[in-house]
Amino acid sequence: MRFQLNKVFEHQSVLPNECLAALQLKPGGCYVDATFGRGGHTALILGALDDSATVIAFDQDKEAIRYGQQRFEKESRLSLVHDNFSQMSQYLNQHGVYGAVDGILMDIGVSSPQLDDAERGFSFMRDGPLDMRMDQRKAQSAFDYLSNISEKELHHILEVYGEERYARRIAKGIVQSVKDNRLKNSTLSLVEIIEASGAKRDKHKHAATRTFQAIRIAVNREVEVLEQGLYSGLQSLAIGGRLVVLSFHGLEHRIVKAFIREYRQKDGDIVLKQIGKAQGVSWHERKQNPRSRSAFIRVMERVK
């Protein structure tokens, strides 16, 4: 079921068996799903736990939380928290489980419902408002962001967050279109401007893919909150607890790798070890769920 008309959108959970195995679930344990989405991973976790277990799930998107409240209406072991995972340790501290969490899953990035609902503004395939906010309470949409950015800053963002080869010409095209009032509050208006600036397709990628990714990362401050979220998660674990992270593109992979390098130092106050190597998605899963194709799972354990 995936259609625009009555807004039913689904999300297929990535690497489900691998995530469950990596968490090494204890039946009565305390677990955190930092990125609830449509609750696919949460449901699997709950299914492997007994009645004494606790699961706390975060999402900054009010649609995800609303969906979760309906789907898990009768599930007393689950608490749904409408907040950014960068705030995880504060919440867990207030609820008496800071330093006592047995496992945390972070499946970062956007969900299929966010991508598929044109009204959210993440899609360059369907027209919608140029929004891209995962957290609808935040003030600045993608349109506001682009309306106030300098060419130099946008060039940098497109290069670093989008790894976009044509960053210079796209930045120039967008900033000029803002000055000329040609950029409308519409995703397809932005696509037109990107194409007119001379950006080209990249192998199988649409010419707008990397620019949309970069703007989405900037609007949601994804780099900062991922760094904070990883640290917040590690701090919240019990010794021996697991932090399992799914990342989806080069920038995210690099942030997770740098985090692992930093916290595996033996002389720090908080220390982790990496369990196994990063693992990608099988040919079979990629074929059945193309959006999973660039995913990697990394597993860490808190040792100090």
Instruction: Output the smallest distance, CB 28 to ligand SAM, in A.
Output: 23
107 labelled ligand-binding:
yes
Which one of residues 109, 128, 162, 173 is an interface residue with ligand SAM (CB under 6 A)? 109
**Closest CB to ligand SAM among residues 103, 173:** 103
Q: Is 231 exposed, middle or buried (0-12, 13-18, 19+ CB in 10 A)?
A: middle
What does the per-residue mask of binding to ligand SAM show for 80-99, with x meaning CB under 6 A? ----xxx-------------
> For residues 121 and 133, what is the distance between their CA atoms, to the nearest angstrom?
8
Do 55 and 26 form a contact (C-beta atoms < 8 A)?
no
User: Which residue number places its CB atom closest to ligand SAM?
Assistant: 37
Instruction: Output the smallest distance, CB 217 to ligand SAM, in A.
Output: 11
Per CB under 6 A, 58 contacts ligand SAM: yes
Structure token digits, residue 53: 């277990």
**Closest CB to ligand SAM among residues 135, 163:** 135
Helix (H, G, I), strand (E, B) or coil at 114: helix
Residue 252, amino acid: E
114 labelled ligand-binding:
yes
39 labelled ligand-binding:
yes
Binding span for ligand SAM by CB under 6 A among 32-40, 194-202, 250-258, 274-282: 32-40
Residues 130-189 that bind ligand SAM (CB under 6 A): 134
The pairing of strands 78-82 and 54-59 is parallel
40 labelled ligand-binding:
yes
SS3 content of the chain, % helix, strand, coil (to 5): 45, 15, 40
What does the per-residue mask of binding to ligand SAM show for 193-232, with x meaning CB under 6 A? --------------------------------x---x---
Q: How many residues bind ligand SAM (CB under 6 A)?
A: 24
> For residues 121 and 50, what is the distance between their CA atoms, to the nearest angstrom?
40
Do 31 and 67 form a contact (C-beta atoms < 8 A)?
no
> For residues 173 and 296, what is the distance between their CA atoms, to the nearest angstrom?
34
> For residues 281 and 206, what is the distance between their CA atoms, to the nearest angstrom?
22
Instruction: Output the smallest distance, CB 282 to ligand SAM, in A.
Output: 17
Per CB under 6 A, 68 contacts ligand SAM: no
Do 56 and 68 form a contact (C-beta atoms < 8 A)?
no
**Closest CB to ligand SAM among residues 80, 110:** 110
> For residues 121 and 129, what is the distance between their CA atoms, to the nearest angstrom?
5
Instruction: Output the smallest distance, CB 31 to ligand SAM, in A.
Output: 13
Structure token digits, residue 288: 């059945």
Do 144 and 283 form a contact (C-beta atoms < 8 A)?
no
Which one of residues 22, 29, 37, 237 is an interface residue with ligand SAM (CB under 6 A)? 37
Residues 221-280 that bind ligand SAM (CB under 6 A): 225, 229
Residue with tokens 């990394």: 298
Provide the binding-site residues for ligand SAM, judged by CB under 6 A: 11, 13, 35, 37-41, 58-61, 64, 84-86, 107-111, 134, 225, 229
Which residues does the annotation place in the binding site for S-adenosyl-L-methionine? 39-41, 59, 85, 107, 114
